[in-house]
Amino acid sequence: MRCLLPILAICCCVIPDDSTADEKPATGMLLVATDEVRGSSFFHTVILLLHYDESGALGLVINRPTEATPDELLPELEGIEDYTGMTYWGGPVRLASMRALHRTDSPTDDEIFVLDKVYQMPLDTLPTGDKNQENLRFFIGYAGWSPGQLDREIFFGSWDIIPATEENIFTDNPDTIWETLSPPQSYRASAE
């Protein structure tokens, strides 16, 4: 019996206790890549979760602006030529698709709530008069996980989970948001 006690103590230390976890994945949360994420697709990314349940998860990478403008990618979309911002790389899934996030006090009926004043907006209902990157962001592709896949990645330490804010999503400095949100030990390890 004495031999089992140290083994049980080690097991209790190795397996994370979900009841003590700071945050859980959910719509409106951010996934901040840890130093465990090495591949080029998600290295130093920050992902806004738009959907999370037993069927899987879907999110948008919010810190990878591209050189393309939305009107270059969707010239047929009426009103898009007035948008003054760039397009973001939302993730590696369905790169031929585009999504939009809209910050507004008065969403339309077809906008989907994400958090606070942030909504996922259908592309066919672009807002009139509010077409700058302070309140509207376009994303090509998205990040997706099959059932249980994101949970496994979190269990193995690939992601830190923190609440999103409007300021995180619509930052003027998307290239520095990972450093801002990443725990200090992760940042130091990657900066060496």
Domains within the chain, CATH numbers bracketed = 30-191 (3.40.1740.10)
Q: Tell me: the pLDDT tens digits for 127-137?
A: 766 667 789 99
Both tokens of 138, joined, read 């376009």
**Which class for 125: exposed (0-12), middle (13-18), buried (19 or more C-beta within 10 A)?**
middle
Single-letter amino acid code for the residue at 26: A
Both tokens of 192, joined, read 């060496």
Q: Tell me: the pLDDT tens digits for 142-171?
A: 999 999 999 999 999 999 999 999 999 999
Percentage of the chain modeled with pLDDT above 90: 62
Q: Tell me: the pLDDT tens digits for 66-112?
A: 999 988 998 888 888 888 888 999 999 999 899 999 999 999 999 99
Rounded-to-10 torsion of CA 49, 170, 192, 143: 30
C-alpha dihedral sign at 56, 148, 20, 30: negative
Q: How confident is the model at residue 1 (pLDDT cuts 50, 70, 90)?
A: very low
Q: pTM of the full predicted structure? A: 0.83
Single-letter amino acid code for the residue at 95: L
Average pLDDT score over residue span 52-57: 97
SS3 call for 101? strand
Rounded-to-10 torsion of CA 173, 175, 177, 179: -130
- Around Cβ 69, how many Cβ atoms within 10 Å? 16
Do residues 50 and 101 touch, judged by C-beta distance below 8 A?
no
